[in-house]
Amino acid sequence: MDFEPIYLSLKLALITTAILLLIGIPVAYWLSGKSTMAKIILEAFITMPLVLPPSVLGFYLLLAFSPNNGFGKWLYEHLNLHLVFSFQGLVFASVIYSLPFMISPVKSAFGHLPETLAQASYTMGKSKWQTFIYVLLPNIKASIYTAAVLTFAHTLGEFGVVLMIGGNIPGVTKVASIAIYDAVETMDYEAANQYALILFAITFAIVLAVFIFNKKAVKNPFE
Amino acid sequence: MIEVDINKRIKTYKGWEDLRVKAQFDIGKVTQITGPSGAGKTTLLKMIAGLITPEKGMIKFKDTLWFDAERKFSKRIQERNVGFVFQDYALFPNMTVEKQLAYGTSDQAYIGQLLELGEMEVFRQHLPAQLSGGQQQRLAILRALSTKPDLLMMDESFSALDKELKSKLLAKLQALFLVQGTTVLLVTHDDEILDPSPAVFKMEA
């Protein structure tokens, strides 16, 4: 059995989660503040991947990344970035696709912190940044773990977006979910079963870990 | 003298109302602020601290301007050197008793002194969730004192303490206020009696 697709899936999920932690936490914090029309619209956009068929997102990303069109052409000419049928393209698409899994839980956790926590820190002479690092972040740690793990698991399970913009290039864009599809297409059910079983086991272990980690919390970690 | 002359639209259970406060408080003294619930006691404290912005008016502490709506000036909260004991305590769930105090001061001796004052020495390593209501309330008071504020604001800060503990703590606090020259604004229920009785500012609903 070829383990490369599994390795690629894990690599993609890890990189996507790392990038989303960096982008997602500040954006979630900003969104958790006073609600404005701009924030509501942005949040609606961020939530779209939850409800859109992945093929829709994949299709538009394909158009956007294509070196024949404006944005893709600019990326290619100025940054030498080729996002269609490349691993970088998969990372970019995965980040967009998994945005709501990182941002929603973290935003909700920030929103549930009593506002007096930050106020107490300000009256003690601490800046917004110090308050964020020493008071706010540590108190939503559990939500950040959950969000990171769910983002990771969700990226592992990606199929439609990957197929649309990455295709099926061995060692580059052929992740585990694509490998299953490919194996079934060529009637290689044994290989398909192996990939499927491994994906199932990894994902189940992750979700189980989240539930065990959150067992003290009353609510379901997906809420 | 603290001079307050402010105007703020606040939302009460009766709908939107205008909160107007014109008052002067003595420096280095304790002033008790009373009034029925909904009179805007907490809002007044938060406006003086800089946590809520009034629509009109000005706030002056000694000779320093803290707020002036006309000039659109508001001194940063962090630079007002106030201490605030919140009604919900606002303790940081991630920090032990000792760490909450260390967040405000690096002076270990002073931390020890505060812990002794609040009879909290044995709880140094406890998290807020492991403390009783009365212990949490004492910690909130000690933490507000950790920065040695010029002005300490206490919002119903003795409600969870029994009578004996309260009078003992009050006596020790008053001795500390005297040493540090702290000005104190203390919000209480209408019927709460403090000993010795301080100046009282009564707010109407």
Determine the pLDDT at residue B200: 87
Quick one: closest CA in A to B91, which residue?
A117
Contacts of B144 in chain A (CB under 8 A): 123
Residues 6+ away with beta carbon under 8 Å from A102: A17, A20, A21, A23, A24, A28, A147, A148, A150, A151
Q: A57-62 — which CB contacts under 8 Å span 24+ positions?
A: A57/A93, A57/A96, A57/A97, A57/A160, A57/A161, A57/A164, A58/A93, A58/A160, A58/A161, A58/A162, A58/A163, A58/A164, A58/A165, A59/A164, A61/A89, A61/A92, A61/A93, A61/A96, A61/A161, A61/A164, A61/A165, A62/A164, A62/A165
Q: Is the pLDDT of residue A184 over 70?
A: yes
pLDDT at A168: 85
How many Å lie between the alpha carbon of B51 and the closest alpha carbon of chain A?
7
* Chain A residues with CB within 8 Å of chain B CB: 114, 116-117, 119-127, 134-135, 138-139, 141
Q: Do B93 and A139 touch (CB under 8 A)?
A: yes
Q: Looking at per-residue confidence, does A72 or A187 come out higher?
A: A187
Q: Looking at beta carbons, which residues of chain B come within 8 Å of A128?
A: none
Which residues are CB-neighbours of A68 under 8 A, at least 6 positions away?
none
Residues from chain A that touch B79, judged by Cβ atoms under 8 A, are 125
Which tokens is A26 given? 């500040």
Predicted local confidence at residue B190, as pLDDT: 64
- Complex ipTM value: 0.93
Q: B83 and A123: CB-CB below 8 Å?
A: yes
The span from the CA of B114 to the CA of B98, in Å, is: 10
Chain CA centroid to CA A8, Å: 15
Asked if the Cβ–Cβ distance from B146 to A124 is below 8 Å, we say: yes
How does residue A216 score in pLDDT terms, banded at 50, 70 and 90? low
**Chain B residues whose beta carbon lies within 8 Å of the beta carbon of residue A116:** 86, 88, 90
User: How many CB atoms lie under 10 A from the CB of residue A216?
Assistant: 7
pLDDT at residue A84 in the model: 86
End-to-end CA distance of chain A: 38
Let me know if B54 is exposed, middle or buried by CB neighbors in 10 A (0-12, 13-18, 19+): buried
Determine, for residues B147 and A124 on separate chains, whether the beta-carbon distance falls below 8 Å: yes
Query: Quick one: pLDDT band at residue A85, thresholds 50, 70, 90?
Result: confident
Residue B201's φ and ψ, nearest 5 degrees, are: -115, 115
pLDDT score recorded for residue B29:
92
Sign (positive/negative) of CA torsion A56, A59, A63, A64?
A: positive
Any chain A CB within 8 A of the CB of B93? yes
Q: What's the CA gap between A198 and A176, in Å, rounded? A: 9
**Interface probe, candidates A124, A131, A143, A216, chain B, greatest B C-beta count within 10 A:** A124
Residue of A nearest to B151 (CA): A123
- Cα–Cα distance for residue pair B194/B177, rounded to 1 Å: 15
Q: Which residues of chain B have pLDDT under 50?
A: none
**When comparing pLDDT for A211 and A9, which is higher?**
A9
A170-174 LR contacts (CB < 8 Å, sep 24+):
A170/A2, A170/A4, A171/A4, A171/A8, A172/A8, A172/A85, A172/A86, A172/A87, A173/A8, A173/A85, A173/A86, A173/A87, A173/A89, A173/A90, A174/A4, A174/A5, A174/A8
Q: Over the stretch A99-134, which tens digit does the pLDDT of each residue have?
A: 999 999 999 999 999 999 999 999 999 999 999 999
Residues of chain A contacting residue B88, judged by C-beta atoms under 8 Å apart: 114, 116
Name the more confident of A142 and B11.
A142
Confidence of residue A217 (pLDDT cuts 50, 70, 90): low
The answer to whether residue A74 scores a pLDDT higher than 90 is: no
pTM as predicted:
0.87
Q: Does the pLDDT at position A218 exceed 80? A: no
Enter the tokens of residue B175: 């001795």
Residues of A in contact with B86 (CB under 8 A): 116, 119-120
Q: List CB contacts of A109: < 8 A, sequence separation 6 or more.
A: A140, A142, A143, A144
